[in-house]
Amino acid sequence: MASVACIGECMVELRQAQGGASAGQGGGLYSRGFGGDTLNTAVYLARLDVKVDYLTALGDDGLSDEMIAAWNAEGVGTRRVVRLVGKLPGLYMIQLDAKGERQFFHWRDSAAARQLMSLPETDEILNSLMSYDIVYLSAITLSIYDAPGRERLFAAIKRARLLGTRFVFDTNFRARGWPDRDVAREVFAAAFAIADIVLTSTEDLLALYPGESHDQLMARLPSPELVFRLAEPVSLLRFPGGTSEVRAEPMTKPVVDTTAAGDSFAAAYIAARLAGSDPVEAAQAGHRLASLVICYPGAIIPGYAMPPKKRHRPAASRQASK
């Protein structure tokens, strides 16, 4: 069975509760959950019957216990989660506008996940990457580590790729996570250079390379397989042997919350590619799941709302990168 390692950070999520402002609270009522971009992807991968482990660090507190229990309940593997004494997970808050667009506020400077690349257990975790078919992480993941930590992670990914593991990089860019854009561009370039698949968007790339055209932005990415999501629900694909444009089906329900649209797209895309679908079919699957997810509040939709599962062709066996 194909397997995926998702690396990143899960935080305590606070999102506006319905009716908070109208009840005279000034929008001050929030519901609590858990979320993080790569964790959201891991949950959706598990729901799509992909064997997935989440690689992160948590504290020894009750909230971290709840996270572990929730991930296990979803079928996300937790064997590579490091627990740190006296530490806590980070926290973020989501505010939504009338159109369902979100704004994030983070409190994470001392979160346990930031130490994952500098622990006694780090070498064991990094050596485990070669046992997976795919290693998936995002720019947010890279932003929480220091420069030596990123170098250790990239070196481990390069070793894993020699044995056939594929690296999928999602450019989920949040400017507040980086000291400046020059550092972000440097780290992005390093990730692009070793990525087998890049999942990106105009929102992410134009923030780093303002004023460039779609062609100019795509030319910056040397990866053999590229999914470039535009502002409208369209993806431009580049893959060995061709290019394509994939348009999402028209929405039939109102958009409630765009949180995890990209995360769910990534999960459906990866799951489809592992199951043998070509990039066009995988992008279609990504658009379908993302279009469903944005019709519900929060990052993770109810299990009953997941789309019916499709049968795919068997996936090709692993081949070592050259």
Q: Strand pairing of 102-107 and 134-138?
A: unpaired
Q: Which residue bears the tokens 């999102």?
A: 15
Alpha carbon distance 11, 58 (integer Å): 9
CB 268 within 8 A of CB 277: no
Q: What is the Cα–Cα distance from 93 to 232, expressed in whole angstroms?
A: 26
Q: Which residues contact 122 (CB under 8 A, 6 or more apart)?
A: 116, 152
**What does residue 25 show for φ and ψ, rounded to 5 degrees?**
-95, 0
Which burial class, exposed, middle or buried, applies to 128 when counting CB atoms under 10 A from its CB (0-12, 13-18, 19+)? middle
Burial of 170 (0-12, 13-18, 19+ CB in 10 A): buried
On whether the CB atoms of residues 199 and 266 are closer than 8 A, the answer is yes
Dihedral angle of Cα 144, 149, 152, 154, to the nearest 10 degrees: 30
By DSSP bridging, strand 242-247 and strand 11-16 are: unpaired
What's the rounded Cα separation, in Å, for the pair 14 and 128? 33
Report the catalytic residues. 263
What DSSP state is assigned to residue 313?
Answer: P
